[in-house]
């Protein structure tokens, strides 16, 4: 099944749904540096592109999921012409160690990974961005008000599970009636045959996840590097499908944390057709005084896949203003 986790892992592809998107990176370059960094519970894979001691603060980006990988964010390496870009795989997924201990799958522990990486790389000051489930980690990290934080990007963030499900329901209501009926039937104890459910789910994903064909260079990179996600983590923390939250995040509500963010250095981003609806992301941004908001035209949930050039331009300008 093509879930949010799988798509953001960078290893899946959807048929061409909408023409005209930029191609992004032609190839994924080798990293400047790689490391296995100790974090609570094990070691995580970290990839650095660019000079960590350069004149501009580096940026670290947290991938989606839960259970996604850094491969879904490799288009952001384009930023390394101005600053170092740090990508990493959260514990138990990608190229990181896999103790496969669900007791480690907590929001707080995943947030703790960020400071462990910063200390290991000896970075005094950096920008932090997170996308989808990574946006949850950006929210949690920013709410801690770390002295090292220069700028904060919350991309298509999961802020409230209740709101996320409501957004999915709102988008589903715009699908053809037969697709809606199939999706509803697939959530019942006796669902239709799997191919019918998969086809209905793909109709949703084609509109709101990745609206264009993924960059083949990203898929080739993930395959060559053996970057794979963790379906077990996704199911345990989120649930069996994109539309049903039964895992440990089912009651997650980070809305109160918005008040703790420094809005003068915060940017909220969403795609025009994002599963995290732009109206919802805008409402979250309005709760953070002085925060910025950007909507990437033509993009779904996977911003870097759909509109890499536009997404990079938005991030480049924001980071420069907060160096």
pLDDT in tens, 1-60: 344 544 455 544 333 334 444 568 889 999 999 999 999 999 999 999 999 999 999 999
Q: Which of 96-110, 233-247, 267-281 has the lowest mean pLDDT?
A: 233-247
Instruction: Report the alpha-carbon distance of residue 155 to residue 157 in Å, rounded.
Output: 5
- Cβ pair 262, 138 in contact under 8 A: no
Return the pLDDT at 205: 81
Reading across the β-sheet that carries 85-88, which strands appear in turn? 33-39, 42-49, 85-88, 59-62, 126-131, 149-155, 266-271, 292-296
Return the pLDDT at 18: 42
Which domains occur in the chain, in start order? 4-172+212-321 (3.40.50.1820)
Residue 168 has pLDDT above 80, yes or no: yes
Nearest to 268 by CA among 286, 249, 256: 286
Return the pLDDT at 241: 81
Q: How confident is the model at residue 261 (pLDDT cuts 50, 70, 90)?
A: very high
Positions marked catalytic = 132, 274, 301
Which token pair is 248?
């440990």
């Amino acid at each position: 099944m093509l879930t949010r986790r799988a798509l953001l892992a960078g290893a899946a592809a959807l048929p061409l749904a909408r023409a005209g998107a930029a191609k992004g990176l032609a190839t994924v370059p080798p990293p400047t540096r790689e490391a296995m960094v100790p974090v609570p519970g094990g070691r995580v894979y970290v990839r650095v592109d660019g000079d960590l001691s350069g004149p501009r603060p580096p940026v670290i980006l947290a991938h989606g999921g839960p259970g996604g990988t850094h491969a879904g964010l490799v288009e952001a390496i384009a930023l390394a012409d101005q600053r170092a870009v740090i990508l990493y795989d959260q514990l138990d997924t990608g190229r990181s160690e896999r103790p496969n201990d669900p007791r480690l799958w907590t929001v707080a522990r995943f947030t703790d990974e960020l400071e462990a990486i910063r200390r290991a790389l000896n970075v005094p000051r950096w920008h932090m961005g997170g996308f989808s489930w990574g946006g949850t980690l950006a929210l949690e990290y920013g709410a801690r008000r770390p002295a090292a934080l220069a700028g904060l990007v919350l991309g298509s963030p999961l802020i409230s599970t209740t709101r996320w499900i409501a957004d999915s329901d709102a988008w589903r209501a715009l699908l053809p009636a037969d697709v809606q009926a199939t999706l509803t039937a697939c959530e019942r104890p006796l669902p239709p045959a799997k191919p019918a459910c998969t086809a209905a789910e793909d109709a949703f994903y084609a509109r709101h996840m990745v609206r264009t064909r993924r960059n083949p260079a990203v898929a080739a990179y993930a395959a060559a590097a053996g970057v794979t996600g963790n379906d077990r983590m996704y199911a345990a923390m989120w649930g069996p499908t994109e539309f049903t939250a039964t895992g440990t995040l089912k009651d997650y509500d980070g809305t109160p944390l918005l008040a703790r963010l420094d809005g003068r250095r915060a940017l909220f981003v969403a795609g025009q057709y994002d599963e995290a609806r732009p109206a919802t992301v805008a409402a979250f941004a309005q709760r953070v005084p002085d925060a910025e908001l950007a909507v990437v035209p033509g993009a779904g949930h996977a911003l870097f896949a759909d509109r890499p050039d536009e997404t990079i331009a938005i991030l480049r300008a924001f980071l420069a203003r907060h160096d």
